[in-house]
Amino acid sequence: MDPRRFERIDDTCWRYGPEGAMRVPAVIYASETLLRAMDEKVLAQLCNVASLPGIVEAAYAMPDAHWGYGFPIGGVAAFDPDEGGVVSAGGVGFDISCGVRTHLTGLTLKELSPVRERLADELFRAIPAGLGRRGRIRLDDRELDAMMAGGAAWAVAQGWGEKADLARIEDQGCVAGAEPEAVSRRARERQREEMGTLGSGNHYLEVQLVDRIEDEATAHAFGLTEGQVVVTIHCGSRGLGHQIGTDYLREMARAAERHGLRLPERELACAPLRSALGRRYLGAMRAAINCALANRQIVAALARRVFERLFPGIRLPLLFDVSHNTCKEETHEVGGRRQHLFVHRKGATRAFPPGHPAIPEPLRAWGQPVLIGGSMGTGSWVLAGTRVDGVRAFASAVHGAGRAISRREALRRFQGEGVVRQLAERGILVRSVSLRGVAEEAPAAYKDVDAVVEAAHRAGLARKVAHLRPLIVIKG
């Protein structure tokens, strides 16, 4: 993407428009290097988002942004229901509430090394992974309703984890306003046997090493120390979320004309927030958020059981659990006044600043933990919400490295066996049901996560706390 097309606000902020049908400008946070490498479609999609009714302030893209369905992945936009604002299924995405959670182990690499191979094998056996993979849990209709209404709190009540976990999950593990009755029969059937599973694509469970601390005080508050082993889980709402996205995108596209909406493209199908369809989608989407929170809670419990067998007495307390691919009701200051908004974050992480009441104690003074997944070979990051000269992009930050090439191109360039071998030579054990999936997720298929995080840090979206290096990777 040519930087000359933008007004350069500072080293990491680029503004375009508004022009044509745009109601607000498009703003990209990125270094010049990252901006130049971005697909032109990112700007085209941002401009389309900026033309939607009721949008507030700007259509934003994070440093990891790349082309997506409707919204760019790494896209953030907020809508005011009092100004005809809309909710867009494409602005949330298909993998609703895909997210990341990190657990502390207290173990060192020296303690882990003698059982690393065995740990990798047992985690791979204990946690189902892969496209369409079924778990050991089967829910009837009543249990599905309870899960979609209760989220991680439901999972804990079923014996999956500890009540203390809930305080360290967004929305205390259960988002209000879920409407299981707004979820189709097809979506329910797809999820009936998928609880406690990782899925495929970029989803994973990793055992990681904290190999660098950038902010000693915040790391201490988060319970992170250099040389400590942690466990990070990345997965979402599986078939349920995907089907909800599919169902409502079709319905929103058919109903657009009836609602007086002129869509710049079909993929931006949406509905007014105050319409019956908009409210119904929000209810179904919230049910999917709760499904994802419950799913990660169960996967974490399965991982804890493996660690407990190998390290009796170990607890694995939760650092935090964050969600991507959501639309949430939040209050933000816009133009000097507080507004009640619906914030879409597609492939972006909520990053509330220090002191925000939604952050649990004792973390509140330090800002919300922001967990950034990298590729299998490049490492991940823990960041924290920050406030430089005001909260930016509705308190949002990056969610990962962001793809540099498509999955199809990755399959053309890489072989799964070769990727596994190269990572093993670097001390990273990979266990996967699909070598094709490994090739699609090869480290070189992603942007440089360190460059993405540096841009987010410099832009004031979130601040660097600690870098995590992968030791074991479990993938679908």
Residues 6+ apart with CB under 8 A from 51: 20, 21, 22, 23, 264
3-class secondary-structure state, position 180: helix
Pairing relationship of beta strands 26-29 and 55-66 according to DSSP bridges: parallel
Q: Which residue, 314, 320, 313, is CA-closest to 297?
A: 320
Closest CA to 275 of 254, 252, 253, 250: 252
Helix axes 276-310, 116-126, angle to 10 degrees: 140
> Residue 330 belongs to what H/E stretch?
strand 326-334
CB atoms within 10 A of CB 25: 19
Phi-psi region of 468 (alpha: psi -120 to 50; beta: other; left: phi over 0): beta
Which amino acid is it at 102? T
Helix 238-255 crosses helix 276-310 at what angle (to 10 degrees)? Answer: 170
Token match 């942004």: residue? 65
Which of 66, 324, 399, 457 is flagged as catalytic? Answer: 399
Handedness of CA 131, 133, 137, 140 (dihedral sign): positive
What is the dihedral sign for C-alpha 225, 325, 133, 431? Answer: negative
The span from the CA of 90 to the CA of 80, in Å, is 18
- What angle, 0 to 180 degrees and rounded to 10, lies between the N-to-C axes of helices 276-310 and 141-157? 50
66 is catalytic: no
* Residue among 230, 224, 121, 235 at smallest CA distance from 470: 230
Catalytic residues: 399
